[in-house]
Amino acid sequence: MSKKNRTGVVYSTNPDFHYQSDEQSEAETLPPAQQSLKIWVVKLGGNKVVTAVRGFIGTEADLADLGKQLKAACGAGGSSKDDEILIQGDHRDKVLAWLTGKGYKAKKAGG
């Protein structure tokens, strides 16, 4: 058993005891008009260029759904994790046009 998962309570004799986790619940997804997304072009190891969309506020499921739609619109692969969407290749203009067409507030960021 990993020591990282221990929270201090092993056993309680109190019949009214309810375990409370310290984990934060996911934030509710804001509507597209209230989202403020930034579109970056990032170089990863091996000179690979990816388009990163950052600033999404919402659940992981909604982030994954938006990432899937963006990847389909760009015709490229990618991933959605750690509160950002990564799309393989430089697709800043396509992503910006698609997001603004769907009602998101988005702008290019970085160099």
Beta-carbon neighbour count of residue 14 at 10 Å? 6
Residue with tokens 């619940």: 25
Give tens-digit pLDDT for 11-68: 778 888 777 666 666 678 888 889 899 999 999 888 899 999 999 999 999 999 999 9
pLDDT of residue 89: 94
Q: Are 92 and 52 in contact (CB under 8 A)?
A: no
Query: Taking the complete model, does pTM exceed 0.85, yes or no?
Result: no
Per-residue tokens: 21: 């986790």
pLDDT of residue 55: 93
Length of the chain: 111
| Apex 97 CA angle, 39 and 53, nearest 5 | 20
Distance CA 85, CA 74 (A): 13
Distance CA 87, CA 46 (A): 16
pLDDT of residue 1: 45
- What's the average model confidence in pLDDT over 64-74? 95
Is 10 a residue whose pLDDT tops 60?
yes
Write down all domains in the chain, each with its CATH number in brackets.
33-111 (3.30.780.10)
